Amino acid sequence: MINRVVLVGRLTKEVELRYTQSGKAAGSFTIAVNRQFTNQQGEREADFINAVIWGKGAENLANFTHKGSLVGVEGRVQTRNYENQQGTRVYVTEVVVDNFSLLEPKSANDGRQSQPVNHSGQNNFNTPNNQPMNDPFTGGRDIDITDEQLPF
């Protein structure tokens, strides 16, 4: 069986960072994901999906994002339930995030990050032997390439 989720969207508010009694970080947030189609009025609608992230990833997400940040998340769907103060059983469905990437450059993210990073804080542009490399498409520099060098 497969339970895998990949989402790209914007945070609807700051990540709510809490700590368990044992000191483990837990971050809760909602991500707004645009639908691929428009409604009858020609407007694009969005789904608002609740998510939770644990540990150092929660701290990094809270520290390097803000309301409106464009993020990609990977994880699984989980349903849990609890009994509220009125004695009613409440069911919660959310994405438990295993990994995330910041998808905006430094200028679009209030100067908090310079390029996409995963939750471990390493850049996402790696060589086959997993060594970081510079991304030639950041920084607005022209690339010196001829039509003959293009594979298409």
Q: Provide the whole-model pTM.
A: 0.68
Is it the case that residue 126 has pLDDT exceeding 50?
A: no
Q: Which residues are registered as beta bridge partners of 6?
A: 74
The amino acid sitting at 79 is T
User: What average pLDDT does this structure show over 51-74?
Assistant: 96
Q: What is the pLDDT of residues 24-40, one digit of tens each?
A: 999 999 999 999 988 88
